[in-house]
Structures are given as structure tokens and as C-alpha cells.
């Protein structure tokens, strides 16, 4: 009976969105911290290229995190 | 002013009072993680949560539509039925708060209305498909989902950052918690305030002030937003006083993961119109973030509380809602019954608060 009552499609989309949103933001923000942390170690431990790479990683992670949050709120508000 | 209008005013006042207590009870859930990890000072966290609770109430109306249209048949409901349902929810919440039992405001609200409608009109007034498909099943799945998302999220964080120096990592996640804590407050505001909007919309439909299927008027949205935000702000000051003994210990990465998981589950569910217990979802996410680090860190008693609250709240609130409707009928169809019960409710609530505050200076989260 429950199988026919529940809209499994909508519930599945909820589960997928929550998984992607919750885990995705944790992933991208961790990359931001990794990049910023290593970039902050500076020239003592890293080459110039490594510093630039970690700086780019931090910026990418931050942009991806912000984009995911803004996208989520826009999708919700447009529902 | 007709007697029906008097009942409607009582329903609106009672619904907003319920919304206020919802914010009051849930402040701890929303701000505890940010305060515990020292991401924010308590006063800042509480004020921030109250503002975002208010803002959250404006971003969606899907949950309000579910409460107004998918739980009971709006065309046959009367304002007295909605009133009895609200009293059922408030009475059950108050009783569980007083005796320290687990509860869920959301399940209590819907259970109360279903019980009152069942006794007043019969099973044909209850939309069982909507209750099971849009309330009960999502309510069971959501805390589990939050637990899984919180658990995976913290494992991802530790995998990426496990070998980094703890200082910068902690500072980074504390900064991140400013955003994730804000998102959680926004999510809480949007799901919980909409339940009150839905109940008021149902009463307006029942009284002929709104056609079935319409969105709640703007005054309903802004008053529900204000009530939950004021409740959050007021409840926060008590939390600040008692936080030293009540807040669980977790690191900033766990706090960020739990808040992110809770926000994602609540926001995704709100988009599809599922009225969740935000308390259960946040508890599930916190437990998941704890389990991801160390399984023994999980407070399995909290999981037991969620299960028992899930099993008990709906039928008990329904029974009290049904009983309340029966009592109002003793006084006839007019406003006398709701007026007397509302007055008795205010006196009983004041007495319970006075006794509880005398007995203990702490207030459990809802």
C-alpha cells in the first residue's frame, strides 16, 4: 500500500539532492581549506608553481562552494 | 464580528503562539553547533539565527501548501477543528517538555489536526495518502538521510585534510560554519514557519476567507516569520545561560559537516513540500558527523528518543486534538468552547512554566 501512496520519484530526488548538496559542499570547502592552508605555508616549503596551484585550488573550492549554496537557494525559491 | 470570526482570531493567535514556542525550543538545535565549536559568540549566533529564521520563512510555500491541502480535506474543516488540533499539539508538546519526554512539534501539529478532523467529521476528512506519503514516511527517512550525509561529509573532510596542520583547518571550518550555521537557520525558518502558515491558511479556508488551494496571504507569511524569529531570539538567551552543561563537544569540521548535512536535507525536503521535524534532522546530522569520526561517539539514546518520538507524538497529539474537539462541542457550535479552552490553556501553560522554572533553571530543546 505504502509503495503506491509514496511519491518515490520526489523522495528519490530529495535524497539525491541532499546527498549531493551536503557531501558536495563538504568536499569543495575542504579543498578550499587544503588550498589555503598549503598556500599559506609560502615559499619556505613550496615552489612557486606549487604555491600558485594551491592558491588556484583554494579559489576554485571557494567558488564551487558559493555556487552550490546559491544554486540550492535559487532552486528552492523558484519551487 | 461573527462568532466564527472570534474563533478564527483565537486560531490565528494560538498558531502564532505555537510558532513562537517552536522557535524558542529549536534555538538550541540551530545554534548549539556553532557555539560549541566557538565558530561564533553565543549572542552573535542567536541574533544571526533569528534573522535567518525570519528570512527563511519567505523563500518557499511548498510545505504550507502540504499542510493546508494534503493532510485533511480543507472544504469540510471548520476553524474549531483547526483550533482543537492546535491545542492537541501544544498540550502534547507542553506535557513532553514538562516530563522530559522526546517530541516533535511538526508531528504534533499534524497529528492534532488529523485527530480533531477524524472525530468531528470522520475518516473521510483525513487524507491518509497525504499523511502517510508526505508526512510520516519522509519524517522517518529524513533523520536517517541526515545521519548518512553527515557521516559521509565528515569522512570526506578528514580524508582531504587529515594530514594538514590542525590550526589552519580549524580556523577554516570555523569560518565555514558562519555560512553553514546561517544555512541551517534559514532551512529551519523555511520548513517550520511554513507549518504555521499552512495551519492559518487552513483556518482561513475553513472560515471562507480564502479559497482552497490558494497561497497564504502576505500578512500570514510575515506574522509566522516574525513569531518564529522572536521565539528563536528569546529562546537563545536561556540557551546562553545554560550552554555550559548542555552542548555536546565536537570539532569545527564535524560542526560544519553536521550543519551542511542538516541544511541540505531540510532544504531539499522543503522544496518538495515535506513538513519535517527539523529537530530530528539536525540530531541525525550531528550523530552522523560524530559516527564518521568514531562510532562510539554516537549517543544512541538520542536515536532511541527520535524513534519513540516518531511513534508516540502523532497518535498522542491526535488523541488530545480529538478530545479537545469533543470538549468544545459540549459548549455548542459557537465561540464559547474555544474561548474557555484557550483561557484554560493559557493558565495551565503558565502554571507548568512556573513549576518547571522553579524546579530547574534549564530548558530542554524541543
Instruction: State residue B238's pLDDT score.
Output: 64
Contact A5 B129 (CB under 8 A): yes
B243, pLDDT greater than 70:
no
Q: Is residue A15 part of a domain?
A: no
Q: Which positions in chain B touch A72 (Cβ < 8 Å)? A: 264, 267
Among the partner residues A14, A30, A65, nearest to B268 by beta-carbon distance: A14
- A73 touching B (Cβ < 8 Å): yes
Please give the DSSP secondary-structure letter assigned to residue B210: S
B11, pLDDT greater than 90:
yes
Q: Is residue A45 part of a domain?
A: yes
Which residue in this structure is represented by grid cell 604555491?
A51
Span B17-71, pLDDT tens digits: 999 988 887 887 788 888 888 888 888 899 999 999 999 999 989 999 999 999 9
- A38 touching B (Cβ < 8 Å): yes
Distance CA B322, CA B342 (A): 15
- A70 touching B (Cβ < 8 Å): no
Question: Residue A58's domain spans which residues?
Answer: 24-78
CB contacts under 8 A, A 41-60 vs B, are: none
Q: Is residue A65 part of a domain?
A: yes
Distance CA B137, CA A58 (A): 40
Q: Is residue A13 part of a domain?
A: no
Which chain A residue is nearest to residue B57, measuring alpha carbons?
Answer: A77
Which chain A residue is nearest to residue B260, measuring alpha carbons?
Answer: A22
Please give the DSSP secondary-structure letter assigned to residue B365: -
Are B271 and A17 in contact by the 8 Å Cβ rule? The answer is: yes
The predicted model gives B1-16 an average pLDDT of 90
**B72: helix, strand or coil:** strand
Give just the sign of the alpha carbon dihedral A18, A22, A23, A25.
positive
How many structural domains compose chain A? 1
Q: Is residue A1 part of a domain?
A: no
**B78: helix, strand or coil:** coil
Span B209-239, pLDDT tens digits: 999 888 999 999 999 999 999 999 887 766 6
What ipTM was assigned to the predicted interfaces of this complex? 0.93
Which chain B residue is nearest to residue A66, measuring alpha carbons?
Answer: B179
The neighbour count for residue A79, using CB atoms within 10 Å, is: 13
Instruction: State residue B35's pLDDT score.
Output: 85
Contact A73 B270 (CB under 8 A): no
Contact B268 A17 (CB under 8 A): yes
Contact partners, residue A27, CB within 8 Å, separation at least 6: B156, B160
Q: Is residue A16 part of a domain?
A: no
Please give the DSSP secondary-structure letter assigned to residue B211: -
Contact B164 A6 (CB under 8 A): no
B/e letters for B112-133, b = 16+ CB within 10 Å, e = fewer, are bbbbbbbbbbeeebbbeebbeb
The predicted model gives B66-93 an average pLDDT of 91
- A12 touching B (Cβ < 8 Å): no
Amino acid at each position: 500500500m505504502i509503495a503506491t501512496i509514496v511519491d518515490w520519484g520526489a523522495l528519490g530526488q530529495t535524497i539525491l539532492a541532499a546527498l549531493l548538496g551536503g557531501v558536495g559542499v563538504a568536499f569543495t570547502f575542504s579543498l578550499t581549506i587544503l588550498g589555503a592552508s598549503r598556500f599559506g605555508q609560502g615559499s619556505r616549503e613550496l615552489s612557486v608553481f606549487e604555491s600558485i596551484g594551491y592558491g588556484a585550488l583554494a579559489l576554485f573550492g571557494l567558488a564551487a562552494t558559493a555556487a552550490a549554496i546559491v544554486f540550492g537557494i535559487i532552486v528552492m525559491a523558484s519551487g | 464580528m461573527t462568532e466564527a470570526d472570534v474563533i478564527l482570531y483565537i486560531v490565528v493567535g494560538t498558531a502564532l503562539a505555537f510558532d513562537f514556542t517552536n522557535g524558542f525550543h529549536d534555538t538550541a538545535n540551530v545554534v548549539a553547533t556553532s557555539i560549541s565549536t566557538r565558530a561564533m559568540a553565543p549572542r552573535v549566533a542567536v541574533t544571526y539565527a533569528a534573522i535567518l529564521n525570519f528570512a527563511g520563512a519567505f523563500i518557499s510555500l511548498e510545505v504550507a501548501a502540504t499542510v493546508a491541502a494534503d493532510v485533511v480535506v480543507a472544504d469540510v474543516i471548520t476553524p474549531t477543528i483547526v483550533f482543537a488540533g492546535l491545542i492537541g499539539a501544544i498540550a502534547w508538546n507542553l506535557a513532553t517538555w514538562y516530563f522530559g519526554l522526546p517530541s516533535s512539534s511538526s508531528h504534533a501539529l499534524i497529528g492534532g489536526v488529523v485527530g480533531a478532523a477524524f472525530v468531528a467529521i470522520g475518516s473521510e476528512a483525513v487524507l491518509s495518502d497525504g499523511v502517510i506519503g508526505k508526512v510520516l514516511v519522509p519524517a522517518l527517512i529524513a533523520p536517517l538521510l541526515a545521519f548518512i550525509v553527515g557521516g559521509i561529509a565528515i569522512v570526506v573532510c578528514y580524508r582531504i585534510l587529515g594530514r594538514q596542520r590542525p590550526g589552519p583547518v580549524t580556523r577554516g571550518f570555523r569560518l565555514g560554519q558562519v555560512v553553514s550555521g546561517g544555512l541551517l537557520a534559514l532551512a529551519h525558518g523555511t520548513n517550520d514557519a511554513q507549518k504555521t502558515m499552512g495551519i492559518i491558511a487552513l483556518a482561513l479556508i475553513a472560515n471562507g476567507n480564502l479559497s482552497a488551494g490558494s497561497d497564504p496571504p502576505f500578512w500570514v507569511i510575515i506574522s509566522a516569520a516574525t513569531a518564529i524569529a522572536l521565539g528563536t531570539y528569546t529562546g537563545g538567551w536561556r540557551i546562553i545561560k545554560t550552554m555550559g552543561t548542555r552542548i555536546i563537544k565536537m570539532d569545527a569540521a564535524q560542526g560544519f559537516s553536521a550543519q551542511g548535512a542538516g541544511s541540505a536535507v531540510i532544504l531539499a525536503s522543503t522544496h518538495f513540500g515535506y513538513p519535517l521535524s527539523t529537530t530530528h534532522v539536525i540530531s541525525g546530522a550531528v550523530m552522523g558527523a560524530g559516527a564518521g569520526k568514531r562510532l562510539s561517539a554516537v549517543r544512541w539514546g538520542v536515536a532511541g528518543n527520535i524513534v519513540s518520538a516518531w511513534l508516540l507524538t502523532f497518535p498522542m497529539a491526535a488523541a488530545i486534538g480529538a478530545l479537545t474537539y469533543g470538549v468544545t462541542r459540549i459548549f455548542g457550535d459557537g465561540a464559547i468552547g474555544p474561548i474557555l479552552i484557550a483561557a484554560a490553556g493559557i493558565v495551565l501553560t503558565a502554571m507548568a512554566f512556573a513549576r518547571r522554572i522553579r524546579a530547574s533553571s534549564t530548558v530542554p530543546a524541543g
